[in-house]
Amino acid sequence: MNVASQLAMRGKLTLDEPMSKHTSWRLGGPADRYYVPADLQDLQDFLAGLDADVDILWVGLGSNLLVRDGGIRGQVIAPLNALRQIHMQLDGSLYAECGVSCAKLAKYCRKKELAGANFFVGIPGTVGGALAMNAGAFGGETWALVEQLIMIDRQGRLNRREPSEFKVGYRHVELPQQEWFAAAQFRFSVRAGDEESNIRELLRKRNATQPIGQPSCGSVFKNPPGRHAAQLIEAAGLKGYRLGSACVSDKHANFIISDSDTSAADIEALIIYIRERVAAQFDVALETEVRIVGEAL
């Protein structure tokens, strides 16, 4: 990045930023460079001035991310609490930037009396992360509601794209090369029934079945076709199983819990062990939902 670009930055750039501060597992080595943009225009300017050979990783709430203990080489961009614009548009669609939390999106829709967003309360991430993996909960999925995407490219240019331009599947979305989600337009229906009661019930269900309040990444594995990863893991006798200081939750077997002594290597080793046990006993290859990045020590 040249001097002029650095002087023009309005966001916050830190070096050797501990990723343990920015992941829900509360672990991970340092990022070489960590940038929180001031707003969308600042992000555009920052990307335009970034060297073309620098690797970029986007991080929201860090809830679907395992950062290895050696940390991340290159540039981390963190839009959470920066790209947070959310509003209704004249055509009735809802515009939300990638740094808006899914919980805030659900709350906003409830306030505007829109239906269909309640499942977002069960997604511990941001709009950008939900778009990137077609996140879902309680039977709902993100891309079923997407009307248009606003992408940002390596040069900081914004491009509008239609959902039909993406290949979308279960917890998987193929993005155009060197483009990322800046914002999206969603289409919700008008509220019908007691949405607030429904949200309360979904939160009650989540709290009763998931280890809320303990460091985890949410679901570690995708559900195989016609099966549930948690049931397979539990049937393999791994509920509550500990490897190093990483532990399979005794409340929900598709959650791995960390503590203050846990390393990313402990988590990754447990992930590998779970996959091996389930494959050996049930001939099912579990795919990770969590994204594993960075370098090992």
The CATH number of the domain where 278 resides is what? 3.90.78.10
Give me the chain's average pLDDT, please: 93
For residue 131, give the H/E element and its range.
helix 127-133
**Known catalytic residue at 162:** no
Q: Average pLDDT of 148-162?
A: 97
Examine the pLDDT at 81 and tell me if it is beyond 90: no
- 2 Cβ contact partners less than 8 Å away, ≥ 6 residues apart: 49
How far is the C-alpha of 84 from the C-alpha of 72, rounded, in Å?
A: 25
**Known catalytic residue at 219:** yes
**β-pair partners for 65:** 291
Looking at the fold, whether 99 and 145 belong to one and the same domain comes out as yes
**pLDDT of 228:** 96
Q: Which range of residues forms the domain containing residue 286? A: 211-293
The encoded tokens of residue 169 equal 């599947």
Which of 45, 77, 109 terminates a domain? The answer is 77
Residue 25 lies in a domain: yes
How far is the C-alpha of 142 from the C-alpha of 94, rounded, in Å?
A: 13
Q: Could you tell me if 243 and 270 are in contact, meaning their C-beta atoms sit under 8 angstroms apart?
A: yes
115 against 194, higher pLDDT: 115
**pLDDT of 218:** 92
Q: Average pLDDT of 195-209?
A: 75
How far is the C-alpha of 110 from the C-alpha of 197, rounded, in Å?
A: 11
30 against 9, higher pLDDT: 30
For residue 16, give the H/E element and its range.
strand 12-18
Looking at the fold, whether 95 and 166 belong to one and the same domain comes out as yes
Q: Average pLDDT of 168-178?
A: 91
**Known catalytic residue at 171:** yes
Residues 171, 187, 191, 291: which is the catalytic one? 171
Q: Could you tell me if 186 and 93 are in contact, meaning their C-beta atoms sit under 8 angstroms apart?
A: yes
Residues 97, 195, 268, 289: which is the catalytic one? 289
Looking at the fold, whether 188 and 217 belong to one and the same domain comes out as no
Residues 24, 219, 249, 263: which is the catalytic one? 219
Q: Average pLDDT of 4-24?
A: 87
Which of 162, 195, 228 terminates a domain? The answer is 195
**pLDDT of 41:** 96
Domain count, the chain: 3
Q: CB count, 10 Å around CB of 119? A: 22
Least-confidence region, from 90-99, 193-202, 273-282: 193-202
Q: Could you tell me if 11 and 46 are in contact, meaning their C-beta atoms sit under 8 angstroms apart?
A: yes
**pLDDT of 261:** 93
